[in-house]
Each structure stands twice: as structure tokens, then as C-alpha cells.
């Protein structure tokens, strides 16, 4: 399950992953993102928060995740991954080779630092 919180004044979308991700999570995310339902402007920066790797509940959910990334990564400027998961700590290095946004990992208790980086890029 994905929960969304839009920090409108900063153009940041905070995404909290809880439990295995479902196909509907990515369909809902794409629909909101494409329709501009995230208030006045599309977020250009994302903070993804999860204590551990949530995984996907099906192959269809994994495919929906990949589809979202392939269709939207050029519209996103920066992504902060806020986690204590050892697997997700290496994700920025791998994803950085494949997608447009700058990606940086922060420890789970460093969400404020992640927001600051998303705001400034430093």
C-alpha cells in the first residue's frame, strides 16, 4: 500500500510504502500524477519512505511499478529514498544508471535532511 502526502509549497510528494505493493497502488499514483490531482502543480521531487523493502504482492504489481517508472521518470527532478533497508540503500546507485532523476538515500530517521536535499539539491 502507498500513502501520499503532497507538500505543495515545496513541490514534494512524500510516498510512504506500507506492506506489499499492489498493482492498484501504481495505477492510482499514475492517475493522480497524470491528471494533476496533486493540487496546483505536479511534484517534481519525491521522498519515498519505508523502513524495509515492502516487495510486491504479484508480478502484475511489479510490472505496474516498472511501467510507472518508465512513463514518468523524466518528469521527476529528484528522489530521496528514506529507509534503513540494506537492499534499498544500494538502489540509488543502480537506478541512477537507468533513470533521469537524481536519487539519494537517507537513513529512516533523517527525513528532515531528505526534505532539505529535495529543496536545494545539496
The domain that contains 69 carries what CATH number?
3.30.750.24
> Number of folded domains in the chain?
1
pLDDT at 49 (0 to 100): 95
Report the Cα 45 to chain-centroid distance in Å: 8
- Find the domain containing 84 and state its range: 2-120
13-17, 38-42, 85-89: the lowest-pLDDT one:
38-42
Which tens digits make up the pLDDT trace of 70-111?
888 888 889 999 998 887 777 766 766 567 788 889 999 999
Q: What is the pLDDT of residue 58?
A: 96
Q: What is the pTM of this model?
A: 0.84
Amino acid at each position: 500500500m502507498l500513502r501520499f502526502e503532497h507538500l505543495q509549497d515545496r513541490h514534494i510528494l512524500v510516498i510512504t510504502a506500507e506492506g506489499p505493493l499492489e498493482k492498484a497502488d501504481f495505477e492510482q499514483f499514475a492517475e493522480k500524477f497524470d491528471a494533476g490531482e496533486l493540487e496546483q502543480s505536479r511534484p517534481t521531487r519525491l521522498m519515498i519512505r519505508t523502513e524495509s523493502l515492502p516487495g510486491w504482492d504479484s508480478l502484475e504489481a511489479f510490472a505496474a511499478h516498472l511501467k510507472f517508472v518508465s512513463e514518468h521518470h523524466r518528469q521527476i527532478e529528484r528522489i530521496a529514498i528514506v529507509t534503513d533497508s540494506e537492499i534499498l540503500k544500494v538502489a540509488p546507485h543502480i537506478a541512477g544508471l537507468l533513470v533521469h532523476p537524481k536519487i539519494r538515500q537517507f537513513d529512516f530517521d533523517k527525513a528532515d535532511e531528505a526534505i532539505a536535499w529535495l529543496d536545494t539539491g545539496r
